[in-house]
């Protein structure tokens, strides 16, 4: 009986771990600056983002959903 309980607990634990990992992989991450003047996010960090952000501010990685909630728009590193 204990083996069945432990086996069930193990399976439940593994399902929870895999669902958490899968949920995090579905989340697209983008890069933004903590400056109030910068209203862009980038798919990857680049020289343009560093220049735009300046030395006083930080570049951070956030989810695409959060960037959109902050009303940031996608900018291109090459334009």
In sequence order, what are the beta bridge partners of 40?
73
In sequence order, which residues have a C-beta less than 8 Å from that of residue 72 and are 6 or more positions away? 32, 39, 40, 41
- Residues 6 or more apart whose Cβ sits within 8 Å of residue 45: 31, 59
Distance, in Å, from the CA atom of 79 to the CA atom of 52, rounded to the nearest integer, reads 13
**pLDDT at residue 21 in the model:** 65
Inform me whether the pLDDT recorded for 3 exceeds 90: no
- Owner of token pair 């560093």: 50
Sequence ranges of the domains in the chain:
2-74
pLDDT of residue 23: 57
Q: What is the pLDDT of residues 17-73, one digit of tens each?
A: 777 665 554 579 999 998 888 899 999 989 888 888 888 899 999 999 999 999 999
- Identify the band that residue 8 occupies on the pLDDT scale cut at 50, 70 and 90: confident
């Amino acid at each position: 009986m204990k083996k069945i309980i432990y086996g069930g607990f193990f399976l439940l634990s593994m399902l929870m771990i895999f669902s958490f990992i899968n949920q995090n992989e579905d989340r697209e991450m983008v890069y933004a600056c903590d400056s109030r003047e910068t209203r862009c996010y980038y798919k990857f960090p680049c020289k343009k983002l560093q220049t735009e952000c300046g030395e006083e501010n930080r570049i951070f990685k956030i989810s695409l959903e959060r960037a959109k909630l902050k009303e940031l728009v996608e900018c291109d590193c090459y334009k």
